């Protein structure tokens, strides 16, 4: 993922979040979007997340050894600290910290963006953390629209490409480590992104576009559905955008059941 592309996507997504916030009534801001979080709390989370990223403390939250429960506790604590901030302050924070994060991201030299860093998701390129930011914002935009009974937020082709790359790199670093060594080669392809499918040899724990073993089952997904799966919003069996083809559904289930990105 190129830093300049991630930075541009950060700006586009934040513009969408600001437009979404501006179009809500005060009553809609109080509706529960997630357990314990109102709609306005979701926007508070996005602002505090960007602030933490700009100040450099956010990386500490994803250091090796942290689990999903720890992530959630940190997010809850950060939101609680700013829960007295009203709509206007939250909006200002969203605009200010989002702009700063996009600027910093766009200035990252390409060699530095490729440096592998240890995280709770395994060793990933530094640029992957920018993808985490894009994924988090789109999923939370969707939390808001879902709570309000509105259509899902848009995901343009450029964002789809970045998030497809992000999700593929998330699999080897985290979920695949939880799959027991078992027979089966799963081929994963995104129908809405033009890229080479990745294969996952579950017995050998090999993964990527280079795996030559013949697939025993195929998984075809669209990027928005995969993001909802990774965010634990719905199971893969409930998502019509994820299709499993082939007799070895057990191998596909072994992979799909552990897909998770906080």
Q: Is residue 244 part of a domain?
A: yes
* pLDDT number for residue 70: 75
If one counts every other C-beta atom within 10 angstroms of the C-beta of residue 110, the result is 10
Where is the domain boundary, 114, 130, 154? 154
Q: 141, 120, 121, 125: which is closest to 13 by C-alpha?
A: 141
Q: With contact defined as beta carbons under 8 Å apart, do 129 and 122 qualify?
A: no
| Residue 25 resides in a domain | yes
Beta-ladder partners of 199: 187, 208
Burial string for 86-106 (b: 16+ CB within 10 Å, else e) reads: eeeebbebbeebbeebbebbb
pLDDT at 72: 82
- pLDDT of 181: 67
**CATH number of domain containing 249:** 3.30.1050.10
Domain boundary residue among 111, 127, 154?
Answer: 154
Whether residues 130 and 252 fall in one domain = no
Query: Given this model, what pLDDT does residue 203 score?
Result: 87
Are residues 122 and 53 located together in one domain of the fold? yes
Are residues 51 and 89 in contact, defined by beta-carbon separation less than 8 angstroms?
no
- Shared domain for 38 and 129, answered yes or no, is yes
- Is residue 34 located within the same domain as residue 85? yes
- The answer to whether the beta carbons of residues 106 and 4 sit under 8 Å apart is yes
Exposure b/e, 141-159, CB count within 10 A at least 16 = b: bbbbbbbeeeeebebeeeb
Q: What mean pLDDT value characterizes the chain?
A: 91
**Which residues of the chain are under the pLDDT cut of 70?**
65-66, 68, 173-175, 181
Structural domain for 126, as ranges = 3-154
- Do residues 76 and 148 share a domain? yes
- Cβ neighbors of 68 (< 8 A, separation 6 or more) are 260, 262
Count of CB atoms within 10 A of residue 194's CB?
A: 10
Q: Is 162 a domain residue? A: no
Angle at 162 between CA 161 and CA 167, to 5 degrees: 100
**Same domain for 129 and 214:** no
Query: Looking at the structure, do residues 38 and 133 belong to the same domain, yes or no?
Result: yes
Q: Could you tell me if residue 55 is inside a domain?
A: yes
Cβ atoms of 179 and 203 closer than 8 Å = no
Q: Is 189 found in the same domain as 113?
A: no
> Could you report the per-residue pLDDT of 172-199, keeping only the tens digit for each?
766 677 777 678 999 999 999 999 999 9
What CATH number should be reported for the domain holding residue 76?
1.20.120.450
Same domain, 114 and 233: no
Number of domains comprising the chain: 2
In a domain, 207, yes or no: yes
pLDDT recorded at residue 175: 66
């Amino acid at each position: 993922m190129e830093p300049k592309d991630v930075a541009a996507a950060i700006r586009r997504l934040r513009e969408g979040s600001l437009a979404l916030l501006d179009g809500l009534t005060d009553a809609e801001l109080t509706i529960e979007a997630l357990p314990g979080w109102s709609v306005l709390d979701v926007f508070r989370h996005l602002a505090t997340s960007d602030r933490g990223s700009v100040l450099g403390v956010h990386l500490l939250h994803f250091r090796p050894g942290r689990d999903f429960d720890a992530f959630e506790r940190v997010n809850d604590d950060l939101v609680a600290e700013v829960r007295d901030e009203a709509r206007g302050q939250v909006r200002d924070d969203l605009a200010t910290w989002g702009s700063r994060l996009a600027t910093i991201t766009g200035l990252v030299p390409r060699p530095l963006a490729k440096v592998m860093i240890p995280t709770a998701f395994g060793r990933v390129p530094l640029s992957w953390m920018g993808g985490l930011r894009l994924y988090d914002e789109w999923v939370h935009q969707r939390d808001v629209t879902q709570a309000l009974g509105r259509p899902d937020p848009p995901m343009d082709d450029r964002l789809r490409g970045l998030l497809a790359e992000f999700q593929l790199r998330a699999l080897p670093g985290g979920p695949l480590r939880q799959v027991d060594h078992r027979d089966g080669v799963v081929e994963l392809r995104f129908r809405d992104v033009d890229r080479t499918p990745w294969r996952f040899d579950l017995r050998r724990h090999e993964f990527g576009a280079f795996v030559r073993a013949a697939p025993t089952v195929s998984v075809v997904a669209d990027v928005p559905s995969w993001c909802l799966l990774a965010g634990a919003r719905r199971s893969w069996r409930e998502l019509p955008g994820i299709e499993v083809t082939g007799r070895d559904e057990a191998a596909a289930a072994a992979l799909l059941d552990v897909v998770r990105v906080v």
